[in-house]
Amino acid sequence: MSDKTHFNPSKVYFIILAFGGLLLVAYICLLTLNFNQADATTSGAIGDAFGGVAAPFVGTAGVLLTFLAFWVQYIANERQREAYEQQRNDIKRERFENKFYELLRLHKENVNEVNINHGAFKGRDAFILMYREYKFIYLIVEEEVTQHLKTYQLGDFELKQMSHRFAFDFFMNGVGPSTDEYYEAMGKPGPVNVLYIKINNKLKELTRPHKDDKAYRAGHFEVKFGYKPVNGHISRLSHYYRHLYHTIRFVVNEEQTFLQNYDFIRLFRSQLSIHEVALLYYNSFWYKGQKMWKDEMSDGKINHYIIDYKLLKNLPETVQSFGLKASEKLRKEMKIQKNWSDKKIDHEVKLSFEQTEDNVAIFEQK
């Protein structure tokens, strides 16, 4: 708030009255000075002389008093305008917070409503099993991708990134008669199409026949799910990821400072379990989840949610035992999206995976 809003109109009124009073007293004193000792002619001359001398001062005083009166009114109007602006901002802030907390409540409901095998596994327990299922799918996919594309001389980063992309596609859509045409059309014609068909056939073979106590193996990884895996989760998770994305986008696009946005995103991020964060990371490889790395707005603004708001903050190494480490992917995206120096990237990657929120260093967006 500017200094002029601290102006006290009562002080101005006091100054105006005091100044006017002094002028009135001075006028009376001069008018009556030696009046009894002068004759009428002399008194008239003195009056005319005093009137001629006093008129400019009285006129000036009138102008000053008028100016002060307008000034007081101007300050009062400014204070009223700023009070209105503050009230409007408070109402806007309250509406934003109400909508944010409603979105937060809906997110919790979405998590609780996720269930597998007719409610046998619900909520966060379901996310733990889905994480294990994704790991199982990924290990199968990575083996096929590595063997099939080894002649293309792709680096380890590219192979793992492609494996994650394939794996999440199969994780979401599953395998079966209803998806055969979908995979047969992917990347057609070419090596990607052939790879989709091979992986589809292998996953179908590995998951049948199914029994709830059956142990599924992928390399050295063996797991019992208690339900038929690779049956697809798009009906369970598509709404969950859409809501998560729109909640983050809603906060980021709010007209407030980056630090304020970060605090709300941090609050939202704190509601995610470790396995939710892990699946959020793996979802970012999929074509529908890539906006978490780079989201272009209609006004030309580009948001980098994972980088700028450290969405992978609480992702420990223990859940990154396969595939591409989140720190490697983060480094690559920081270089591509931000063009930061290696020193800056090292610093930001370290901050992005620290487990203590108090040590988070936040940079203002430019």
Q: What is the pLDDT of residue 192?
A: 87
Out of 32-46, 91-105, 244-258, 282-296, least confident range: 32-46
DSSP annotation of 365 reads P
Q: What is the pLDDT of residue 210?
A: 77
Domain boundaries, the chain: 3-88, 115-224, 233-359
Residue 214: pLDDT over 90 = no
Distances (CA, A) of 111 to 171, 236, 240: 18, 10, 7
Name the phi and psi angles at 115, rounded to 5: -145, 150
Q: Which of 222, 265, 226, 274 is nearest to 244 (CA)?
A: 265
> Cα separation of 31 and 54, whole Å?
11
Residue 58: pLDDT over 50 = yes
Out of 31-40, 90-99, 192-201, 321-330, least confident range: 31-40
> Cα separation of 289 and 273, whole Å?
18
Q: What is the pLDDT of residue 17?
A: 65
Provide the mean pLDDT of the chain.
85
203 burial type by CB count under 10 A (0-12 exposed, 13-18 middle, 19+ buried): buried
Which two structure tokens, joined as six digits, stand for 321? 């035992």
The pLDDT-based confidence of 362 (bands split at 50, 70, 90) is very low
Q: What is the pLDDT of residue 78?
A: 81
User: Which pTM was predicted?
Assistant: 0.78
Strand partners for 203: none
Residues 6 or more apart in contact with residue 129 via CB below 8 angstroms: 116, 121, 225, 226, 227
Q: What is the pLDDT of residue 292?
A: 97
Q: What is the pLDDT of residue 330?
A: 96
Is the Cα torsion angle 135, 137, 143, 147 positive or negative in sign? negative
> Cα separation of 313 and 307, whole Å?
10
Distances (CA, A) of 266 to 113, 179, 358: 23, 38, 12
Q: What is the pLDDT of residue 44?
A: 58
**Could you tell me if 207 and 170 are in contact, meaning their C-beta atoms sit under 8 angstroms apart?**
no
The pLDDT-based confidence of 9 (bands split at 50, 70, 90) is low
Q: What is the pLDDT of residue 16?
A: 65
The pLDDT-based confidence of 33 (bands split at 50, 70, 90) is low
Residue 116: pLDDT over 80 = yes
Q: What is the pLDDT of residue 52?
A: 60
Which two structure tokens, joined as six digits, stand for 325? 């480490």
Residues 201-218, mean pLDDT to the nearest whole number: 87
Residue 358: pLDDT over 50 = no
The pLDDT-based confidence of 278 (bands split at 50, 70, 90) is very high
Out of 56-60, 176-180, 232-236, 312-316, least confident range: 56-60
> Cα separation of 227 and 213, whole Å?
8
Residues 277-287, mean pLDDT to the nearest whole number: 97
Residue 2: pLDDT over 80 = no
Q: What is the pLDDT of residue 344?
A: 96
Which two structure tokens, joined as six digits, stand for 139? 């290990």
The pLDDT-based confidence of 360 (bands split at 50, 70, 90) is very low
Q: Which of 242, 363, 251, 254 is nearest to 307 (CA)?
A: 363
Q: For residue range 143-173, list pLDDT tens digits in order.
A: 999 999 888 888 999 999 999 999 999 999 9
